[in-house]
Amino acid sequence: MKHYPVMLLEVLTALNMQDGEICLDGTFGNGGYSEAVLQAAGCQVIGLDRDPNVATRAAELAKAYQGRFRLIETPFSRMDQLNLPQLDAVVLDIGVSSMQLDEAERGFSFMRDGPLDMRMAQSGPSAADAIAHLSTEELTRIFKAYGEEKRARHIANCIETARRENAILTTGSLAEIIEVAIGRRGKTHPATRVFQALRIFINDELGELYRGLCAAEKILKPGGRLVVVTFHSLEDRIVKNFFRERAGEVKGGSRYAPDVVASGPAASFDLPKRSVTKPSKGEVEENPRSRSAKLRLAIRSDAQAMPDNMIENSYLPTLSELGRRL
């Protein structure tokens, strides 16, 4: 399937790259954003990705744009630990890439039967490990918190019953269990939310996103642009709240009393636009995967980075806990 860099024109406009500047593409994937940025200006691009399968595509770009592009195999949450220069822009495209979805052996999609894997970095516990070793209660929490699945407990109970008979090792077998458990209504496959939840859990995507935002805050120079494209409400909520907190936006207002500016350190970001930018109707028609995309932009001020203060979901199992059980 053809690879579509989602909201490409909107991303390029928000990045506003100039000759001589440095952009970090924290989610390199198939290199769609990186190549477009390299074509748009005489700038440098540093790509990051934790998926080793992107190396071939990265080598092509490095050869085509000698001296202007390089790839570092690492999670984007570590961008501030790589001894990089201060950056003019950072772009993050959150979520699984089309390249990963379209490869059955990666186990991200129930549309193509393959091993129940879902690991972006191809190391550590897999989705099959989670399904095999987490308790019914833990699976329920994951499906509810990360998939916003209303029938999470019933699905977890059905998985528990099924795994007593046979190991659940493929995407097709898990999707079938879920479909039998809750039936099928409408166009959306009943396994969609559970697969999303497992993918987010296995790759610690929400924690990675928050840590990445904090890292970008530390490494962007004043005037640097942070552009984030998300694909569902959990991701967008984290980005929206981070941006508004870092911009020192108002809190606690009501129709009876004026808003009060949040107290604390000086704002480290400015928000040129509070609302999200969404894909055009034409893009959604050409690439249905873009329909849920939301773009947010923040501009780095000259204030110091604020301290990290993320509150972990302590009631959820962690990958380290799952690893200890294996």
**Parts of the chain belonging to CATH 3.40.50.150:** 8-98+205-300
CA atoms within 13 A on the CB side of 66: 1
- CATH 1.10.150.170 residue ranges of the chain are 103-204+315-325
For residue 157, report the phi and psi dihedrals to the nearest 5 degrees.
Answer: -65, -40
Confidence at residue 97, expressed as pLDDT on a 0 to 100 scale? 53
The chain-wide mean pLDDT, for the chain, equals: 87
Q: Global pTM?
A: 0.85
pLDDT digits (tens, 9 = 90+) for 219-273: 999 999 999 999 988 899 999 999 999 999 855 433 333 444 445 578 999 999 9
Torsion from C-alpha of 51, 276, 248, 200, nearest 10 degrees: -30
Phi then psi for 208, rounded to 5 degrees? -60, -40
Q: Buried b vs exposed e over 175-206: b needs ≥16 C-beta within 10 Å?
A: bbbbeebbeeeeeebbbebbbbbbbbbbbbbb
Question: How confident is the model over 236-247, as pLDDT tens digits?
Answer: 999 999 999 999
Please tell me the predicted confidence (pLDDT) of residue 96: 64
262, 191 contact by CB (below 8 A): no
Q: Superfamily assignment of 8-98+205-300 in CATH?
A: Vaccinia Virus protein VP39 (3.40.50.150)
So what's the pLDDT on residue 253?
38
- Model confidence pLDDT, tens digit, residues 167-220: 999 999 999 999 999 988 877 889 999 999 999 999 989 989 999 999 999 999
Helix (H) or strand (E) holding 251: strand 250-251
Helix count (H) and strand count (E) of the chain?
Answer: 13, 9
Token pair in block for residue 281: 């109707």
Q: How confident is the model at residue 302 (pLDDT cuts 50, 70, 90)?
A: very high
Check pLDDT > 90 for residue 323: no
Please check whether residue 87 is in contact with residue 221, taking contact to mean a CB–CB distance below 8 angstroms: yes
CATH superfamily for 103-204+315-325 is: Putative methyltransferase TM0872, insert domain (1.10.150.170)
Per-residue pLDDT tens over the stretch 74-128: 999 999 999 999 999 999 999 665 554 445 454 456 667 889 998 877 778 899 9
